């Protein structure tokens, strides 16, 4: 799931944003900025029969789709997803940032009772769930919703109509979105999300909202927006039901491992084979099972338990799962990895990131804000700066080398 930029004016993104959407949608429900392209109206007429056959009422169809026009910007966004080719240590540093650790601790303190309830009901560790919330929506920051989300019906309609590789998938998600409205859980005007239709605190696709989401705050509806109770409780349910979360087990540990060890075995068996925790502590559950993973030769090694793969069920990337699990540990007071990745830099502090963003902005590179969050706008500004100054590789990573060059006035 994509990383979010700092709040800012965003008209240059060329899509209808949530901050402009409410009044426009009330005046003319779900109309995009441009008229519907040729062929869309015929597709919509044909799709209407399929939607009604799936249980969508005429009233819901008219409310959601009768005057919808496709948001054609989704195809550009699909084609032009930022490619920064991050090394694993860069990926981890950007997500396990000072900003996310500081604000994660604040979010946990504010929602202590909710996380305790989730741990009791589902057994999902608060750190892991907190980190997932932080990476997916910056802990539910309303400015993320306002500045980075678009109305989902125009987006999903465009994809269902004209994205041939996964046409059936997008049509199914569009029908799911209508079912959400039909159940009274949300309105077309409220349903703003990513260009692909992921919504709310933990970025649910409509299918997850419909089939996994549940009313955890007792207000009579299921919503990924507003109070985080439904979103976080339902995400914990997702990790249990679809990710096969193991209650009472930690995701895994950084370890020191001799060469030639591999496979899956109990922590006790790993210890017998000479694999020990990097911090020297004993494994708290010696009979639980784990797999050894060394992402990069010479870097940190990990024993990964089932809950690491539960997190991976949310986003099928090993790097994503490692970032979530490590961020959760850091928010709860854990240290950085003991063994660094080869060639890695330490992560910038919050103040250093803000200084970097301020210096880039003054140099004419738009970072999208100077709040210490690094998203695609900041990464693009860094990449453009690297290219202009010949600072190679021009990879968009804002670290100590970039900051030093900026301080030199280069």
Within a domain: 338? no
Burial 169-197 (b: 16+ CB within 10 A, else e): ebbbbbbbbbbbbbeebbebbbbbbbbbb
Cα–Cα distance for residue pair 82/395, rounded to 1 Å: 11
Q: Is 290 helix (H, G, I), strand (E, B) or coil?
A: strand
Domain boundary residue, one of 218, 240, 262: 240
Cα–Cα distance for residue pair 169/167, rounded to 1 Å: 5
User: Are 40 and 171 contained in the same domain?
Assistant: yes
Domain boundary residue, one of 193, 214, 240: 240
Cα–Cα distance for residue pair 378/370, rounded to 1 Å: 9
Q: Give 262-306 pLDDT, tens digit per residue.
A: 889 999 999 999 999 999 999 999 999 999 999 999 999 999 999
Say whether pLDDT at 327 is over 90.
yes
- Nearest 5°: phi and psi at 82? -55, 135
Q: Give 206-229 pLDDT, tens digit per residue.
A: 999 999 999 999 999 999 999 999
Mean pLDDT for all residues in the chain: 89
- In this prediction, residues 377-405 reach a mean pLDDT of 95
Within a domain: 396? yes
Say whether pLDDT at 29 is over 70.
no
Q: Percent of the chain beyond pLDDT 90?
A: 82
How many domains is the chain partitioned into structurally? 2
CATH code for the domain in which residue 205 is found: 1.10.8.350
Within a domain: 344? no
Q: What is the pLDDT of residue 73?
A: 92
User: Are 221 and 358 contained in the same domain?
Assistant: no
Structure tokens at 75: 């195809």
Within a domain: 102? no
Q: Give 148-192 pLDDT, tens digit per residue.
A: 789 999 999 999 999 988 999 999 999 999 999 999 999 999 999
Q: Give 86-109 pLDDT, tens digit per residue.
A: 899 999 999 999 999 999 999 999
Do residues 13 and 376 lie in contact, with contact meaning Cβ atoms separated by under 8 Å? no
Within a domain: 343? no
Q: What is the pLDDT of residue 393?
A: 92
Q: Give 31-43 pLDDT, tens digit per residue.
A: 434 456 779 999 9
- In this prediction, residues 134-155 reach a mean pLDDT of 86
Do residues 390 and 383 lie in contact, with contact meaning Cβ atoms separated by under 8 Å? no
Q: What is the pLDDT of residue 83?
A: 58
Of 7-11, 84-88, 107-111, 205-209, give the lowest mean pLDDT range: 7-11
Within a domain: 160? yes
Domain boundary residue, one of 240, 272, 288: 240
Do residues 224 and 185 lie in contact, with contact meaning Cβ atoms separated by under 8 Å? no
Say whether pLDDT at 260 is over 90.
no
Q: What is the pLDDT of residue 33?
A: 41
Q: What is the pLDDT of residue 85?
A: 77
Range of the structural domain that residue 216 is part of: 11-80+146-240
H or E segment and range at residue 151:
strand 150-151
Within a domain: 108? no
User: Are 217 and 73 contained in the same domain?
Assistant: yes
> How many Cβ atoms are within 10 Å of 284's Cβ, its own excluded?
12
Do residues 107 and 130 lie in contact, with contact meaning Cβ atoms separated by under 8 Å? yes
Within a domain: 132? no
Look-up of token digits 């920064």: 84
Q: Which band of pLDDT confidence, cut at 50, 70 and 90, is reported for residue 7?
A: very low
């Amino acid at each position: 799931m994509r990383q979010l930029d700092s709040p800012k004016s965003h008209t240059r993104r060329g899509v209808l944003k949530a901050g402009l959407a409410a009044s426009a949608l009330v005046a003319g429900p779900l109309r995009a900025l441009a008229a519907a392209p040729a062929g869309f109206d015929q597709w919509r007429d044909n799709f209407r029969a399929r939607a009604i056959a799936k249980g969508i009422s005429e009233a819901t169809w008219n409310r959601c789709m009768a005057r919808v026009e496709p948001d054609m910007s989704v195809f550009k966004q699909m084609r032009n997803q930022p490619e920064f080719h991050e090394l694993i240590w860069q990926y981890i540093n950007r997500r396990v940032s000072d900003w996310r650790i500081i604000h994660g601790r604040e979010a946990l303190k504010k929602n202590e009772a909710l996380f305790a309830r989730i741990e009791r009901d589902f057994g999902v560790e608060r750190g892991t769930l907190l980190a997932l919330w932080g990476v997916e929506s910056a802990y539910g920051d309303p400015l993320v919703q306002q500045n980075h989300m678009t109305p989902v019906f125009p987006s999903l309609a465009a994809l269902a109509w004209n994205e041939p590789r996964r046409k059936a998938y997008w049509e199914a998600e569009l029908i799911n979105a209508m079912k959400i409205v039909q159940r009274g859980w949300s309105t077309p005007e409220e349903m703003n999300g990513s260009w692909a239709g992921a919504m709310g605190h933990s970025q649910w696709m409509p299918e997850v909202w419909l089939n996994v989401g549940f009313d955890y705050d007792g207000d009579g509806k299921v919503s990924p927006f507003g109070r985080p109770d439904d979103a976080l409780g339902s995400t914990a349910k997702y990790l249990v039901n679809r990710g096969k979360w193991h209650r009472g087990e930690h995701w895994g540990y950084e370890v020191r491992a001799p060469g030639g060890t591999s496979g899956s075995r109990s922590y006790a068996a790993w210890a017998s084979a000479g694999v020990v925790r990097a911090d020297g502590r004993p494994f708290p559950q010696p009979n639980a099972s784990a797999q050894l993973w060394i992402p990069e030769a010479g870097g940190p090694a990990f024993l990964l338990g089932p809950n690491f793969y539960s997190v991976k069920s949310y986003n099928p990337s090993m790097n994503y799962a490692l970032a979530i699990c490590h961020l959760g540990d850091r928010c709860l007071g854990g240290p950085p990895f003991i063994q660094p990745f080869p060639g890695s830099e330490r992560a910038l502090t919050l103040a250093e990131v803000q200084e970097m963003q301020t210096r880039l902005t003054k140099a004419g590179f738009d970072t999208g804000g100077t709040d210490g969050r690094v998203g695609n706008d900041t990464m693009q500004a860094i990449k453009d700066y690297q290219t202009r100054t010949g600072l190679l590789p021009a990879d968009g990573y804002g670290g100590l080398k970039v900051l030093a060059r900026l301080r030199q006035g280069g």
